[in-house]
Amino acid sequence: MTPQGVIFDLDGTLVDSLPGIAASLNRALAGVGLPQHSLQAIRGFIGNGVAVLMSRAAPQGAAAPQLVALEEAFKVDYDLTWREGTVVYPGVAGLLAELQRRGVPLAVLSNKTHAFTTAMVSGLFPRVAFAAVLGQRSGIPHKPDPAGAVEIASLLGQPVQWLTMVGDSTMDIETAHRAGMRSVGVTWGYHNRDGLAAARPDALSDTPQELLGFLESQSSLSSPP
């Protein structure tokens, strides 16, 4: 039986990208004459894509041209600097290597812009052969809409009910529910444990090793001989 696939969120799940996002955003805000924000405030802005990030970071009532200018400034800066403020969470590389060794199909689904998503995944996980890597694309609704998750199921050639979505936000859990997939909330990211538990995931994991244990408990993922 083919091992059941796992779809990972990116920011807050595989990588801690908050410092890089915050630095680029604050430089972009300063560049267009808008006030900057603390790291903690920006932590609450992220997760719903770049357009929402800009609208949350800009003052209420900011004009559309100003938001466009802010987004462009952010994208230019982030493209040049994201590596300086992005690190893989401890234990994640080992988890991915072990899942790959067992033949588990792996994928990434992010609300980060598609170009940034693919660049980050290929740059930080060069030895992981992800079967699909999808970020936010024009005309495709982003999470919690299940379209991207269902598309990945098709790319992996697996029924949605075989797949597990792993993420640090209630949005990831909602996406899994709406797609008919299992879900695991990870607590090392940007969202609080109580909120994740209230979203009713199939499991909560405090460490990548604990996550591996949950995935092992699924019938088609057994320890290698």
pLDDT in tens, the chain (225 residues): 457 899 999 999 999 999 999 999 999 999 999 999 999 999 999 888 899 999 999 999 898 999 999 999 999 999 999 999 999 999 999 999 999 999 999 999 999 999 999 999 999 999 999 999 999 999 999 999 999 999 999 999 999 999 999 999 999 999 999 999 999 999 999 999 999 999 999 999 999 999 999 998 875 554 444
Q: How far apart are CA 56 and CA 50, in angstroms?
A: 10
pLDDT for 47: 81
Helices (H), 17-169: 18-31, 39-43, 50-57, 64-81, 92-101, 114-124, 147-156
CATH code for 6-16+87-217? 3.40.50.1000
Q: What's the alpha-carbon Rg for the chain, to the nearest Å? A: 17
pLDDT of residue 2: 59
Q: What's the pLDDT at 224?
A: 44
Q: Are 163 and 4 in contact (CB under 8 A)?
A: yes
Phi-psi region of 2 (alpha: psi -120 to 50; beta: other; left: phi over 0): beta
Residue 157 makes CB contacts below 8 A (sequence gap 6+) with none
Segment 175-182 long-range contacts (CB within 8 Å, at least 24 positions apart) = 175/109, 175/143, 175/144, 175/145, 175/146, 175/148, 175/149, 176/149, 176/201, 178/144, 178/145, 178/146, 179/146, 179/149, 179/150, 179/153, 180/146, 181/7, 181/149, 181/153, 182/218
Catalytic residue among 9, 11, 16, 172: 9
Look at residue 223 in the predicted model and tell me its pLDDT. Answer: 45
List CB contacts of 193: < 8 A, sequence separation 6 or more.
187, 204
Buried b (16+ CB within 10 A) or exposed e, 22-58: bbbbbbbbeebebeebeeeebbebbbbbbeebbebbb
In this structure, CATH architecture of domain 18-85: Orthogonal Bundle (1.10)
Exposed (0-12), middle (13-18) or buried (19+): which is 143, by Cβ within 10 Å? buried
DSSP 11: B
Is 9 considered catalytic here? yes
> Angle CA(11)–CA(17)–CA(106) in degrees, nearest 5?
35
Instruction: Say how far apart CA 46 and CA 130 lie, in whole Å.
Output: 24
CA distance 225 to 47: 39
Boundaries of every domain in the chain: 6-16+87-217, 18-85
